[in-house]
Amino acid sequence: MEVFARLENIALHIRLLKQRCSILQAENESLLKENEELKINVKNTVQDLENLAETNKIAKLAQNYNLVNNNPAFKTQLDELIRDIDECMKLIKQ
């Protein structure tokens, strides 16, 4: 009788372990799915950040361009430098 009781106890524990295993497998599948979704979200977020960084870079360049173009003193200085370069090129060609 003692052997039979032990076998029943072992069978009960096996059933409990199988139930626990099924629960853990379902939880694992759920977590794997969530992990994949999070990886996709991270990838999309990184891409969005890269796009925003590029947009920011372009905006800063445009702002600097506007500052330079709206500055008459800078334009004059740039024109003088271009004239100097042209003169140097003429001298080199001679």
How far is the C-alpha of 94 from the C-alpha of 90, rounded, in Å?
7
User: Chain-wide mean pLDDT for the chain?
Assistant: 89
Residues in the chain, how many?
94
Question: For residue 49, what pLDDT is reported?
Answer: 93
Amino acid at 71: N
Model confidence, pTM = 0.55
Are the beta carbons of 38 and 46 closer than 8 angstroms? Answer: no
pLDDT bracket for residue 48 (50, 70, 90): very high
Question: For residue 39, what pLDDT is reported?
Answer: 97
Report the Cα 71 to chain-centroid distance in Å: 38
Question: For residue 69, what pLDDT is reported?
Answer: 66
Question: For residue 67, what pLDDT is reported?
Answer: 66
Indicate whether 34 pLDDT > 90.
Answer: yes
